[in-house]
Structure 1
């Protein structure tokens, strides 16, 4: 094969790759809404919500018990002197675990632990994705998440505001997805179904600098 033949083969290869990229770009402009991912765990998140409520009530009760039940001890009054008065003894110090400092500290710690447990459980529910929908035209995507007690919530954003830091095959448990302007990552459980893996990789699963 001469030099002209090699040039024609190279040009044909570049043209084929260009047509392949163009087809991949056109494939993202879907003619109707497409479900890319699905993983419904409503029963599990109802249990998480009940656990959060139970933990919140327990730590609130423990904080109230510490506030009401633990009081600082007061020194007993000295008896009346019968002879000449003597110097008054120094006031007795509070015993351990009965001072106001320990009382308020333990009460605040209980409330803080309860807040962290309840807030963490609710945040985990709100960031666990149950369904990803690519809308018609491929320019917008909806992330449908779980909410407390099995309720549903959704967020629709432009596709350009969604970024996936790693490929879905590189994570063992959950795939983190970042949305511009939203605190914390959304989590896609690997146990869920990727109904259209190639389209997912080209749209929601692609990395974008946000």
Structure 2
């Protein structure tokens, strides 16, 4: 039983652990109750000296403040991702899909004929579905035509939205109060938007495992995406100024 108890001389004294001053709040042995059949132990609360903790963190470089000048004398590129070929091929795919489904919609309107179905035929129930339904009726014909057109439009809209939200260059403007998002365009041209810094908020940390880093911009419906295959040309400035979660 004596082996289960702490040494009285250790528990009743203060000691130093790596610059941390540790001392018990109450006499530790009062928290141990012995009975013939069981041993009840209540945890002991220790206080740590904040000065020792700060000294330890400063010595390891994790507590030192960031001495970064955000009052820039000129525009600074903090991120870049040059991959125009990928977005060019994606937009060609989106346009091809849109025209394909547009042709399907036009074919449906012009070639489906209203052919009556003889529902009283003896083998009517055994026929395939497309032979038991009169696709030439207006409700089916216009429904298929509108469905094909909308499907192609959704694909094209997704491709264009994804292209317009992928950041090619992220530039911190002169003075450090605004940030410029240079994104790809559907037809190969760049699109530039200047946003005040207090209207930009990071969603996740730069070290997260996701393939893209989303950035939320006030009054914009979708997030701007920074592909991690790109290059953070000034990571310290990016983390200190842009990769910050703000209430917007």
TM range (shorter): 0.7 to 0.9
Correspondence 1:1-210 to 2 at 5 A: 10=51, 21=65, 23-24=67-68, 27-73=69-115, 95-210=133-248
Higher helix share: 1
Structure 1 counterpart SS, 2:139: helix
Q: Is the 8 A contact 1:45 1:149 kept in 2?
A: no
In the TM superposition, what whole-angstrom CA distance separates every residue of 1:17-39 from its partner, at most 9, and x where no partner exists?
A: 9xx54734xx2222221100000
Task: Tell me how far 1:114 sits from its aligned partner.
Answer: 0.7
1:141–1:96: structure 2 CA closer, same or farther, 3 Å change rule? same
5+ unaligned residues in a row in structure 2: which ranges? 1-20, 22-49, 118-131
How big is the alpha-carbon RMSD for the aligned residues of Structure 1 and Structure 2?
A: 2.5
Structure 1 counterpart SS, 2:67: helix
Name segments (4+ residues, structure 1) moved above 3 Å: none
Structure 2 counterpart SS, 1:182: coil
Q: Is the 8 A contact 2:166 2:225 kept in 1?
A: yes
Q: Distance in 2 between matches of 1:74 and 1:37?
A: 64
Q: Distance in 2 between matches of 1:46 and 1:152?
A: 12
TM-score relative to the length of structure 2: 0.67
Task: Tell me how far 1:96 sits from its aligned partner.
Answer: 3.0
Report how many residues are paired: 180
Q: Is the 8 A contact 2:79 2:234 kept in 1?
A: yes
Q: Is the 8 A contact 1:50 1:149 kept in 2?
A: no
Structure 1 counterpart SS, 2:162: helix
Q: Is the 8 A contact 1:63 1:107 kept in 2?
A: yes
